[in-house]
Structure 1
């Protein structure tokens, strides 16, 4: 059962949505079950009229159903890196591209660019998501994932599109997370304790906000 998602007011109280919306990027980090995926989907809806997700472990159908709780699923493009890796397939269309596996970062990048071109035909402004960077670290060294993110973020920034990526602290070393934080303009850290879930927002070289419950 999904916990209550953060409302627009909750996000706006700690996250400068309008500033992020114009080509800036944020990494959402935290332990398992601390609401990272919920925040990603909510931000994709809040930051632009359309969303575009590189999904490393969730198949396209499931990811679109997830996003429908937050925004318009008919304006949600997906690079599905999971279906073919799990022995399933589907037809590509205007909003879906299939990569063979998260292992093939070159192919994922090509599919992403192709999907961006397709989405641009219908939307001037979209928000880009990556879920999850942790999955990529299962196959690649930190430096290779870092370079992949830099290229993807640069492509989004070139269009003035915001970008949001998620990494699970439980699945990466602190050194890896620190390195992979560097290409992003800001970081959202999540936590979960006896009082529930909370997040805080921090821009580069600035102090973080207070913890905000959601």
Structure 2
């Protein structure tokens, strides 16, 4: 395992995000239109919220997910529930920190494999930040109510462990009503957008005023 790490691309501690508070088992949904930086922000959060990270990847194979994460944390230490490789016939090992799911359509299997990785972390006495990318992929196969219930169970498991969790949904793909419904199980929401100032985000907790838009 390489000991040289790239510098993180975003220092979230210099932003409006309450990183220390989120790290105490809180959950956040990152939502916005396509090409507004949601995925990058998710990876940055995973690297900032805990020493270890677990990634439920509905569309990115483990090799790609780890390569993407290298700018934010230890890619070899990223645990992945890979929902993409078997669909394309490219399951390629990855070590003890990888679990393969037949397809993103199988929510039950995703939950089982996620719990297996959680148990392995607990056995080692480790904590982790959990990321899900993306809920939009799940909405291709399931209605919003079923994805909502899946989220509630997964987030409850994280909350019981005091593990922070973050997920991504594409507003364009999901639609406004579905995306708004999926915000409900989360403690906070990060909205992203891309305009003449570049990519920006706004942080909001339930019952609170949103932060200013911040370039990232």
- State if a TM-score over 0.5 links the two structures: yes
Distance between the aligned counterparts of 2:79 and 2:123, measured in 1? 12
How does 1:12-31 map onto structure 2 within 5 Å? 13-31=15-33
How far 1:84 sits from its partner (Å)?
0.5
Check conservation: 1:191, 1:197, Cα contact below 8 A. Answer: yes
2:11 to 3, 7, 15: 7
- Residue 174 of structure 1 corresponds to 176
- Residue 207 of structure 1 corresponds to 209
- Residue 119 of structure 1 corresponds to 121
- Residue 88 of structure 1 corresponds to 90
Q: Quick one: structure 1 residues 113 and 92, their matched pair in 2 at CA, closer, same or farther if it must change by over 3 Å?
A: farther
User: Over residues 88-135 of structure 1, what are the superposed CA-to-partner deviations in whole Å (9 max), with x where a residue is unaligned?
Assistant: 223363210000000000001000000111123335211000000000
SS in 2 for 1:14: coil
Check conservation: 1:94, 1:119, Cα contact below 8 A. Answer: no
Distance between the aligned counterparts of 2:108 and 2:181, measured in 1? 21
How does 1:101-120 map onto structure 2 within 5 Å? 101-120=103-122
- Residue 163 of structure 1 corresponds to 165
Distance between the aligned counterparts of 1:46 and 1:150, measured in 2? 23
- Residue 5 of structure 2 corresponds to none
Q: Kindly report the root-mean-square deviation, in angstroms, between the aligned alpha carbons of the 2 structures.
A: 1.3
How far 1:155 sits from its partner (Å)?
0.5
SS in 1 for 2:209: coil
Distance between the aligned counterparts of 2:187 and 2:81, measured in 1? 23
Gaps in structure 2 of 5+ consecutive residues: 1-7
Check conservation: 1:31, 1:169, Cα contact below 8 A. Answer: yes
- Residue 60 of structure 1 corresponds to 62
- Residue 75 of structure 1 corresponds to 77
Check conservation: 1:50, 1:123, Cα contact below 8 A. Answer: no
SS in 1 for 2:31: strand
Check conservation: 2:121, 2:127, Cα contact below 8 A. Answer: no
TM-score by length of 1: 0.94
Distance between the aligned counterparts of 2:58 and 2:117, measured in 1? 15
How far 1:207 sits from its partner (Å)?
1.0
Check conservation: 2:13, 2:19, Cα contact below 8 A. Answer: no
- Residue 200 of structure 2 corresponds to 198
